[in-house]
Structures are given as structure tokens and as C-alpha cells.
């Protein structure tokens, strides 16, 4: 592993963080923490932690010895001095004299001794950092070290490889007991450079930030050399069907299976987002003949269990053209997984933890031979974290299996970790938003109404996909929202298919379609050319039909309903002079909305429309407003607010109407009018 220390960068960090009031110790601590955190083979997503022992001066001038240790919720790759809360060291050191310390007491004492009362809670491994006397301490879950530990005989192998440089601490759950054990092992080997935590990771330490970091890289490199010596045998592959179904074909099926019904009768589900991975390592891993053995052992380091659960779900390899068989087999596998999870919970709570409540039994990682793995999460970000960890797990297991057999923690230890309150606290108390886990696709999304609609769905927690004829504009608008932007010509079935495939590849499926793309053509109906009329029908009617058809196909594969929303114009209800070329296809789109309501109600798919009028947008530009208000002899404001309520209707009002229809699970075939009141356009 490459050592990335740079004197120049270190000096720059000291200068940079001095401006924020951080001393050189904390600045260098921040610098090397980022070096470690930026290397996924060392740490991932909240795994690992670092510390420095230094002094701070309080408000009245007292100098206090403190431990600045990584705070919960900070990512090492992007940490700032604020992510290294300072705790009074003296109090922490006194705790070493206790025989036992309850988790709640440990957290309370740490929090009560923070220098900044608003600082994040110190890492669950803070006491270990306190008990080792070195100034700088680094802790990672390095893949190479795990690959040496996580096997029968791993303890002995680590002793042979690391010798006196890094003695081995036998496995014990993180927290007070581990901190005490590590202290004992260190005191018996006071000259060591680090400690190997069996089946967990590695600590290194030193007088300077550089020394601790150098030692981390050196010891991990030692482990890597040992692994290379053992060779790189790939697991023997299982026999797979010749013609496999693709990830985009099966993702909606899996996404539907993984959605937990909150209330099936009410049409409410807990939706999840899927993150698919299929790199070389992952395919070797999922295609292995011994997958059922090595994938069901448990995590490669205890911390992973809160994200991935102890075991992934193995699904059958999907055969092309036989998706019904795959769906049935996947459903059975899912049911068995959940039953096994309940049994696991029961096994470990019968006596020891009678008060624990079971966590949800859904798997977080799905393994599909021939196709790859899927990470599941309540958001796209969660799903990608799970997939990253699953990828790490696959690569460690492959390293072990190239010369040995993967062995995880005992199941009992896995359970203790999964149900440890301090670990669950890492996930935080999430406030579920109304559309969390749902994927909303909006067409014509670079325009005023489309962009406002995407933003409104994002605010409700949905993942948003912005489709637009102008792909660059779609990407730019999506970037602002943290969504996905794609080019899509809704009049072209091929373009629609490509865009919807990309949606499925990114999130696993979709739940909400807002068909919003449209454009206005004019002409007196008795004289207008067919070409104009057909062009308008292509976009304003067939465009809606093309995307609705693509959406319904995916929704039906998910088997948990869905939402179709159409932007129809006032013209569909209340035709204006010379607006036939626009109004006729919009009237057809209104009928289309009703037809979808009729044909797919039984699938739980709602189909509704919003009828909006007089909104500043690409269809009603500032220049048009000027001309029209002038022609009527009213001010622009009065023109825009020329409705029963006397209020201008804005894109955000239309967006809110789409959201409210998506939330209404018992409304279908309806039109919601958003025009400030225009009795001539009232539905009748």
C-alpha cells in the first residue's frame, strides 16, 4: 500500500487549520485521518477512527489534557477538526481501574467530559485510544489484515506475520472490555508499533502523526505481501445458465420483493432503493460454487453488520425469458431469509436479551449469480454505502479463499454487535419523509414546471430522475437537486427505453411518473396542416403514452402499485381559439390518464392529472405575458392573476399538486385543477 504522506501537504494543513483555531496536533491529526479515510482498502463509511492526545486552554486559562478522538457521524475521508471532539483525558484514564462499565455509563462519562458540550459523541472505541499511552493513534479495518484474521488459524497466522511489531488481541466486542484487553496486550509489549484486533482490524501508534501513519501503511503492506505470497486463486465457478437475464430485467422484481408492506390494503409500502454492482471481483464472488458457504458466514469486521446484516440473501441465477420462474424462486428465498432472521433473533434473545426488539428482517445485500450484487437502502446514498461494504466484504473473502477458508465471528458475537445500542445509534434516528425510498421520474424536467416538480418530490424524500430532450439541461437541473439527469426524447420509443433502463440501473425501479414534457402548436383547426397536428400528437399524446407504457411495465414487475401523473392543459377541458393543435392531443392525454386508471387500478397503480393554467414557463414566456396583458389593457400582474381568486399561479403550486396526488393512494382517474379558479375550465 502506497504511503501518501507529504511534508508540503502536512505543513499546509497546519497553516489551514490554524485559521480555524486548531493547534498543530489537531491539524496533523486531521490531515492523516483524511489520508487513511480516502483509501477504501483501509476504512469505509464510518469504520475506523483516530485520535491525538493534546492540551487545550479553557475560557479561564486552565490548560487541560485532552483526547481528541473521531466523533460519531464523521467520515474520516472528509473529517474536519470539529469531527475530533476533545474529551478530558484524566477522567478517561481513571476508568481503566474499573472492572466493568456499562455502555450507557461509558457514553455518559465521555459526553459529560467533552470540552465543547455540543461536540459529537466520541467513537465507541475512544477508551482504547485513551488507554494506549501514545500521542497519535490510528485504527482501520484494513482489508489485507482482515484477510489474514478471518480464517481458521488466523490468530496464529497474524502472530507469525506481525510478530512483536503488532501483537494480536483476541476477539472481544468493541467497547470497554476490548479497551481493557488491548491495554493489557500493549503493556506486555510496550515497544510494539501497533495491535492486531483479531477479526476486527488494526491499530498503530506513534509520537507523531507521521509515525503512526507510516506504521499503518507498513504493517498493512506486510499483510498484503503475505497474501500475495499465498497466491491469487479464484474460486471455482458454479454452473450457470447460458443465457442470463440482465440486471435491469430483474432489478424491479427484486425491488418489489424488498419493499415491506406497511399496509397492503391502504396501498402503503416501505420502499427501498437498489444499488447494483458487477465488477470482476463481485462476479467471481457471486459465481463461486461455494457461495452458499462463504457468503453466509458473517461480516468481515463487526462494524459492517449494522449496515449489511449478518448475512446477504442468495438468489438463483435468472434465466433469460424465464422471469416468472425467477420471481417465484426469489419470493421463496426472501421468505426463507426472513424466517431464518427471526429464528436467529429468537436463538440469541431467549435468555440473554429478553427485552430486545427485533430489527426489520429485510436483507440489505442481495447476491445474484451471473448478475452481481445489489445493496438495499432507504435512500440512494444508503444503498451505495451498503453496496460499498458488500464489495469490500467480497474482496476480503476472495483474498481469504484464494489460500484458505473464510471464517467470520461467532454468530453470537455478530448478534451482540448488530443489536448493540451504541452501534444502532450510529445509524441515527431517521425521520422518514413521506416519499422516502420512492423513485420519481419527471419528463420535461429542465423546464420551469418540471424542475419545480422534481424539487418538490425531492423535498418529500423521493429519489428524482429528470428527463429532458436537452440532456445537458436535465443533468444541470438534476445536479442542483442531487438527482439523476438524463436525455430523453419522449416521442422516440428507443430513447424512452434507454432512459428507463438507466433509471432501473441507478435505483432498481420507479414508483412515480410525472409526464410533463409538452409544447404548444397553434392554428385554426379547419386550415391547419396535418404535419403540425401530427407533430403535436407525437409529443403531447404519444410522448405521454410512451413514458406511461414504460413506467407501467416496471411498476407491474415490482408488484406494489405506482403513481402515474399527467400534466394536461386547460385546453383539454376548455378549448381556446386557434389552439386546436395543442388542445386536441391534450384532450387525448386526459382520456389516456383515465384509460390507465381503468386498466391498471387492479395493480394498485393510480393515474391522475393536473390541469394547470397561466403559469410563467417555456409555454408562457415573459414576452408573451407582456403582449397579452397589453392586448387586454391590463397590467402584467393583473393578467397573471386574472382568475377567481385573483392570485398568480406558480410552478411550485403545480408541483405541490403533483405531490399531493402521489400521496393520495385512494384517488385515481381524477383531474386536479391548479388555475386560481376558472369556471369555464371546471371539470364537468
Task: Give, rounded to a whole angstrom, the gap between the first and last alpha carbons of the chain.
Answer: 72
With 0-12 / 13-18 / 19 or more C-beta atoms within 10 angstroms meaning exposed / middle / buried, residue 340 is middle
CB of 32 to Zn ion, least distance (A): 17
Task: Scan residues 9-68 and list those touching Zn ion (CB under 5 A).
Answer: none
* Residue whose Cβ sits closest to Zn ion: 201
Residue whose grid cell is 464489495 = 391
- Closer residue to Zn ion in complex, CB, 201/562: 201
Residue whose grid cell is 450507557 = 104
- Closer residue to Zn ion in complex, CB, 76/445: 76
Helices in 163-279 by DSSP H: which ranges? 176-188, 209-229, 247-257
Site mask for Zn ion (CB under 5 A), range 172-211, x = bound:
-----------------------------x----------
* Angle, helix 543-558 to helix 493-507, in steps of 10 degrees: 30
CB atoms within 10 A of CB 454: 31
CB of 144 to Zn ion, least distance (A): 15
- Closer residue to Zn ion in complex, CB, 201/298: 201
With 0-12 / 13-18 / 19 or more C-beta atoms within 10 angstroms meaning exposed / middle / buried, residue 367 is buried
Annotated catalytic residue 582: yes
- Closer residue to Zn ion in complex, CB, 137/605: 137
3-state helix, strand, coil in the chain (%, to 5): 50, 15, 35
With 0-12 / 13-18 / 19 or more C-beta atoms within 10 angstroms meaning exposed / middle / buried, residue 428 is exposed
Sign of CA dihedral 41, 45, 48, 53: positive
- Closer residue to Zn ion in complex, CB, 201/235: 201
Of the residues 31, 294, 341, 582, which is catalytic? 582
Q: Are strands 63-69 and 86-88 parallel, antiparallel or unpaired?
A: antiparallel
CB of 116 to Zn ion, least distance (A): 24
CB distance 501 to 248 below 8 Å: yes
- Closer residue to Zn ion in complex, CB, 300/445: 300
CB distance 512 to 438 below 8 Å: yes
- Closer residue to Zn ion in complex, CB, 37/201: 201
Site mask for Zn ion (CB under 5 A), range 628-647, x = bound:
--------------------
DSSP string, 152-164: TTHHHHHHHHHGG
Using left for φ > 0, alpha for ψ between -120 and 50, and beta otherwise, residue 40 falls in alpha
- Closer residue to Zn ion in complex, CB, 75/538: 75
Task: Scan residues 309-348 and list those touching Zn ion (CB under 5 A).
Answer: none
Please name which of 60, 55, 135, 61 lies closest in space to residue 87, comparing C-alpha atoms: 55
CB of 107 to Zn ion, least distance (A): 17
- Closer residue to Zn ion in complex, CB, 95/197: 197
DSSP 437: T
Q: How many Å apart are CA 433 and CA 431, to the nearest integer?
A: 6
CB of 178 to Zn ion, least distance (A): 9
Q: How many Å apart are CA 564 and CA 515, to the nearest integer?
A: 8
CB distance 93 to 110 below 8 Å: no
CB of 343 to Zn ion, least distance (A): 28
CB of 139 to Zn ion, least distance (A): 6
By CB under 5 A, how many residues form the interface with Zn ion? 1
Tell how far CA 612 is from the center of its chain: 34
Residues contributing to the site for Zn ion (CB under 5 A): 201
Among all residues, which ones are annotated catalytic? 582
Amino acid at each position: 500500500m502506497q504511503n501518501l504522506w507529504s511534508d508540503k501537504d502536512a505543513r499546509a494543513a497546519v497553516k489551514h487549520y490554524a485559521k480555524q483555531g486548531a493547534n498543530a496536533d489537531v491539524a496533523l491529526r486531521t490531515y492523516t485521518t483524511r489520508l487513511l479515510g480516502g483509501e477504501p482498502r483501509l476504512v469505509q463509511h464510518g469504520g475506523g477512527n483516530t485520535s491525538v492526545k493534546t492540551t487545550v486552554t479553557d475560557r479561564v486559562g486552565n490548560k487541560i489534557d485532552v483526547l481528541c478522538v473521531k466523533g460519531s457521524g464523521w467520515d474520516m475521508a472528509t473529517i474536519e477538526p470539529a469531527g475530533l471532539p476533545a474529551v478530558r483525558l484524566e477522567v478517561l484514564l481513571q476508568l481503566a481501574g474499573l472492572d466493568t462499565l456499562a455502555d450507557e455509563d461509558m457514553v455518559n462519562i465521555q459526553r459529560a467530559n467533552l470540552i465543547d458540550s455540543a461536540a459529537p459523541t466520541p467513537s465507541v472505541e475512544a477508551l482504547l485510544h485513551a488507554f494506549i499511552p501514545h500521542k497519535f493513534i490510528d485504527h482501520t479495518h484494513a482489508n489485507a489484515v482482515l484477510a489474514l484474521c478471518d480464517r481458521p488459524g488466523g490468530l496464529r497466522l497474524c502472530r507469525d506475520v506481525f510478530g512483536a511489531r503488532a501483537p494480536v488481541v483476541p476477539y472481544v466486542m468493541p467497547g470497554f472490555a476490548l479497551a481493557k484487553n488491548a491495554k493489557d496486550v500493549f503493556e506486555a509489549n510496550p515497544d510494539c508499533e501497533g495491535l492486531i484486533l483479531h477479526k476486527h482490524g488494526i491499530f498503530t501508534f506513534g509520537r507523531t502523526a507521521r509515525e503512526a501513519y507510516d506504521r499503518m501503511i507498513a504493517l498493512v503492506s506486510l499483510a498484503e505481501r503475505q497474501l500475495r505470497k499465498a497466491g491469487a486463486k479464484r474460486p471455482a465457478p458454479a454452473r450457470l445458465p447460458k443465457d442470463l437475464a440482465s440486471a435491469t430485467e430483474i432489478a424491479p422484481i427484486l425491488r418489489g420483493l424488498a419493499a415491506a408492506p406497511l399496509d397492503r390494503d391502504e396501498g402503503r409500502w416501505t420502499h427501498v432503493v437498489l444499488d447494483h454492482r458487477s465488477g470482476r471481483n463481485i462476479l467471481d464472488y457471486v459465481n463461486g460454487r461455494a457461495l452458499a458457504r462463504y457468503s453466509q458466514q458473517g461480516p468481515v469486521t463487526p462494524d459492517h453488520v449494522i449496515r449489511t446484516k449478518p448475512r446477504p440473501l442468495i438468489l438463483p441465477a435468472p434465466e433469460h425469458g424465464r422471469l416468472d420462474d425467477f420471481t417465484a424462486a426469489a419470493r421463496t428465498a426472501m421468505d426463507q431469509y426472513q424466517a431464518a432472521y427471526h429464528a436467529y433473533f429468537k436463538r440469541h434473545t431467549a435468555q440473554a436479551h429478553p427485552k430486545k426488539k427485533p430489527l426489520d428482517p429485510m436483507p440489505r445485500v442481495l447476491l445474484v449469480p451471473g448478475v452481481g450484487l445489489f445493496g438495499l437502502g432507504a435512500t440512494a446514498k444508503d444503498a451505495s454505502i451498503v453496496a460499498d461494504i458488500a464489495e469490500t466484504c467480497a474482496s476480503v473473502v476472495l483474498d481469504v479463499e484464494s489460500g484458505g477458508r473464510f471464517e467470520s465471528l461467532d454468530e453470537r458475537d455478530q448478534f451482540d454487535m448488530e443489536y448493540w445500542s451504541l452501534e444502532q445509534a450510529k445509524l441515527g434516528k431517521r425521520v422518514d419523509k413521506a416519499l422516502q425510498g420512492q423513485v420519481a421520474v419527471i419528463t420535461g424536467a429542465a423546464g420551469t414546471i418540471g424542475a419545480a416538480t422534481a424539487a418538490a418530490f425531492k423535498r418529500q424524500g423521493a429519489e428524482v430522475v429528470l428527463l429532458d430532450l436537452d440532456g445537458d439541461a436535465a443533468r444541470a437541473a438534476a445536479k442542483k437537486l442531487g438527482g439523476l439527469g438524463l436525455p430523453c426524447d419522449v416521442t422516440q420509443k428507443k430513447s424512452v427505453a434507454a432512459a428507463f433502463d438507466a433509471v432501473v440501473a441507478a435505483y432498481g425501479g420507479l414508483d412515480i411518473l410525472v409526464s410533463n414534457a409538452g409544447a404548444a402548436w397553434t392554428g385554426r383547426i379547419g386550415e391547419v396542416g396535418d404535419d403540425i397536428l401530427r407533430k403535436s400528437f407525437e409529443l403531447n399524446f404519444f410522448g405521454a403514452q410512451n413514458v406511461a407504457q414504460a413506467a407501467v411495465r416496471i411498476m407491474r414487475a415490482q408488484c406494489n402499485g405506482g403513481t402515474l401523473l399527467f400534466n394536461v392543459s386547460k385546453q383539454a377541458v376548455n378549448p381556446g381559439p386557434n389552439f386546436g393543435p395543442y388542445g386536441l392531443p391534450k384532450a387525448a392525454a386526459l382520456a389516456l390518464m383515465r384509460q390507465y386508471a381503468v386498466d391498471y387500478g387492479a395493480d394498485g397503480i393510480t393515474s391522475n392529472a393536473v390541469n394547470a393554467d397561466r403559469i410563467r414557463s417555456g409555454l408562457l414566456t415573459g414576452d408573451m405575458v407582456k403582449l397579452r396583458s397589453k392586448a387586454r389593457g391590463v397590467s402584467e400582474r393583473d393578467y397573471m392573476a386574472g382568475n377567481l381568486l385573483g392570485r398568480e399561479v406558480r410552478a411550485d403550486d403545480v408541483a405541490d399538486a403533483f405531490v399531493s396526488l402521489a400521496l393520495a393512494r385512494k384517488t385515481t382517474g381524477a383531474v386536479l385543477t391548479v388555475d386560481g379558479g376558472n369556471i369555464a375550465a371546471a371539470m364537468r
